[in-house]
Amino acid sequence: MILYLHGGAWVLGWYNNHRVLAAHIGRASGSRVLAVDYRLAPEYPFPAPLHDCLAVYKRLLNDGIDPNQIVIAGDSAGANLTLAVLLTLRDAGQTLPAAAVCISPMTDLACTGRTFNTNKDALLTAEFALSMSRHYIGTQDACLPLISPHYGDMTGLPPLLIQAGEDEILLSDAERLADNARHAGVNVTLTVWPHMWHVFHILAPYLPEAKQAIDEIGSFIRRHIVSETAGDYNKVKKIVDDIL
């Protein structure tokens, strides 16, 4: 099962492009997908979106879903929330999922990455990222690890797949995340796609690179999730119905 946390700079909500992307990832991995429609800034800045994502994950565990069958995945701001969920669970001594996927993650809301002001991203501008991230940060310190996982300790996290485009402004965020996680002993796979931009995955199946990236995500998830047990489908369906 995939717990999917959508992007949109913590301000833009769950929309059809993310619905299609999550469906492609579910199909590629042979997994069900539960997407979190978390609260949005500026009305609900940090930590409200993080608390929503944590609540859904804990609900799955409370309803008997094996964490070894769960992968948390997210794109952009959703990848940031994915890492914040992992750090929060680890620090609380709670059970972590089997693995996590970070697509074009924004990990440093202080925006100190080398590529933030130098790369020419076809989708995301530095001005937009700065403006939206301020709504999420609110009155908090941008360098808090749960806001900017770049400044956090990655020790003890589950296997990570990190994907980014070569031309995106957040390339440095992805690269530094991979370096920090490896130095902490985490099993990390970083794939950088030549000439691609921020969350190019949303153009699947029309863009060959997007399809290839989603296929890699599917293979990664299948490698890290144990075989499902009988009855899990009905159990998850009931949880989804209750949440909705």
Domain presence at residue 244 = no
Domain presence at residue 239 = no
The predicted model gives 80-93 an average pLDDT of 98
Backbone dihedral region of 199: left (phi > 0), alpha (psi from -120 to 50 degrees) or beta?
left
Domain presence at residue 117 = yes
CATH number assigned to the domain comprising residue 91: 3.40.50.1820
- To the query of whether residue 198 is one of the catalytic residues in this protein, the response is yes
The predicted model gives 11-36 an average pLDDT of 93
Q: What order of strands is seen across the sheet that includes strand 160-165?
A: 33-36, 2-5, 71-75, 99-103, 160-165, 188-193
Domain presence at residue 243 = no
Query: Domain tally for the chain?
Result: 1
pLDDT at residue 231 above 60? Answer: no
pLDDT at residue 206 above 50? Answer: yes
Q: Residue 231 forms beta bridges with which residues?
A: none
Instruction: Find the range with the poorest average confidence among 15-19, 76-80, 130-134.
Output: 15-19
Domain presence at residue 37 = yes
Annotated catalytic residue, options 31, 104, 150, 168: 168
The predicted model gives 83-89 an average pLDDT of 98
pLDDT at residue 244 above 80? Answer: no
Domain presence at residue 68 = yes
pTM over 0.85: yes
Annotated catalytic residue, options 76, 133, 148, 172: 76
Domain presence at residue 241 = no
